[in-house]
Amino acid sequence: MFRQTLIRQLHTSIKLSKEADFTHVVIGAGSVGLAVAHKLTISSTPSNKDNKVLVIERNESFGQEISSRNSEVVHAGLYYPPNSLKTELCISGKEQLYSLSDNFGIKKCGKWIVAQNETQMNYLEKLHEKGKQLQIPTKFVDWGQAKLDEPLIKVGAGVLESSSTGIIDSHGYMEWLVSQIEEGNGELVYDTNVVGLSYDPHNEVYEIETQSGSVNGEEAELEEEKFVISSNNVINAAGLGATDINNLLMPEEKHMKTYYAKGNYFALTGLGNLKIKRLIYPCPDELHVKSLGTHLTIDMGGQVKFGPDLEWIDEIDYHVNDNNLNNALTEIQKYLPIVKRENLVGVYSGIRPKLISEKENKFQDFVIREESESGFKGFVNLLGIESPGLTSSLGIAKYVKEKFY
């Protein structure tokens, strides 16, 4: 009811005034969209005093897609090229998250990256050197200490510890962001799909055509009623739907496609409390840059889960693919041999929005840009925001606020 009332009010205001309804509209209420809206509504920031911010979300609540279907890991920022946005914004976001630890559940539990052979050990040496370059704390754990600290973990060659890696209650974090947006007089509207987007360069105003209805990840049930909202600026933080939003506005030669990389997660059962105290990551394959491997994570309650694996799909589908369980088990047993097939059960899956297909084996950075060169001043695209998107969310928000607004 609130959503319909708000949209009706906006629709009426457009008829009565040529001024935009909002200074900023953020499309997408995942962790990144909420973080951007938060930065734009902090009342103590002088540049925000005239901001009027709206967040539009197609689902019935915030964080229903990428932000709630991941490992909930606070990444250190080790794996990406030093001069990339992923590195810069992951480190910035990590530091901001830890500084706000009184507001939501977050824990700096640390992570081990485990090498089982000499080739993997050489990779860890490079990672350690990169950590020094980026001032990310890492250290090697000797074999004897490793057996004392985590006796169940198989260490074939060595362990690199990343002490600034952690875990976060992603729902609690997003709840806090929503509360901050509302405290800063920002508005959020759910069950609303963006179906049209146009720009009036003379008045520098965007018109955003919306349609009420919900999206459950498999199909959309849309009502016929449509409304138009106007804004001076638009931030496309639509996650899995970000390229669709891009394609509503940009000329055809600038259209983009999202490739869906699904990750299945498996819970541990039947082994009791293994008393594993930190995250355990296998050493990634240096030749394959799209996945960090099927790793072991613990949640804020100490429960162990494994994932994500990597499965390319053509359409959004959140059903856990149990056909992948044997492959996942093979990867898990390389560092935790106590686990048997009967100890794993599929629990959920997530989807990462990739801008390159499975055939292209290269690094893809975050794409964060204002499309002013295409004639769209104030339209900021956030594309390919996958891992480490949750960790980077406040870093991305700070970057967007300072660079474009």
Please tell me the distance from the alpha carbon of residue 405 to that of residue 113, in angstroms, as a whole number: 39
Cβ neighbours, 10 Å, residue 333: 14
What residue type is assigned to position 366 of the chain? F
Long-range contacts of the stretch 141-149 (C-beta < 8 A, 24+): 141/112, 146/112, 149/277
Six token digits for residue 187: 């508005």
Ramachandran sector of residue 151 (left: φ over 0; alpha: ψ -120 to 50; beta: rest): alpha
**Predicted local distance difference test score (pLDDT) of residue 301:** 87
pLDDT mean for each 10 residues of the chain (405 residues)? 49 51 98 98 89 97 97 96 97 98 97 97 97 98 96 97 98 98 97 97 96 59 76 98 98 98 96 95 71 88 92 96 93 97 96 95 96 97 98 98 93
Q: Kind and range of the H or E element at 381?
A: strand 379-383
Q: Are strands 279-282 and 111-115 parallel, antiparallel or unpaired?
A: parallel
In 3D space, the residue among 240, 246, 298 whose CA is nearest the CA of residue 273 turns out to be 298
Please tell me the distance from the alpha carbon of residue 375 to that of residue 398, in angstroms, as a whole number: 24
Please tell me the distance from the alpha carbon of residue 349 to that of residue 339, in angstroms, as a whole number: 20
**Predicted local distance difference test score (pLDDT) of residue 218:** 43
Six token digits for residue 264: 């299945």
**Predicted local distance difference test score (pLDDT) of residue 290:** 54
DSSP state of 258: P
Q: Kind and range of the H or E element at 297?
A: strand 295-298
**Predicted local distance difference test score (pLDDT) of residue 1:** 43
CA-to-CA separations, 237 to 35, 250, 258, in angstroms, rounded: 10, 15, 14
**String of DSSP letters for 189-238:** E-SEEEEEEEEETTTTEEEEEEEEEEE-SS-EEEEEEEEEEEEEEEEE--
Contact 55, 33 (CB under 8 A): yes
Cβ neighbours, 10 Å, residue 310: 19
Contact 83, 139 (CB under 8 A): no
**Predicted local distance difference test score (pLDDT) of residue 356:** 96
3-state secondary structure of 54: strand
Please tell me the distance from the alpha carbon of residue 295 to that of residue 74, in angstroms, as a whole number: 14
**Predicted local distance difference test score (pLDDT) of residue 329:** 96
Six token digits for residue 181: 């947006």
**Predicted local distance difference test score (pLDDT) of residue 276:** 96
Please tell me the distance from the alpha carbon of residue 303 to that of residue 272, in angstroms, as a whole number: 10
Residues in CB range of 273: below 8 A, 6 or more apart: 302
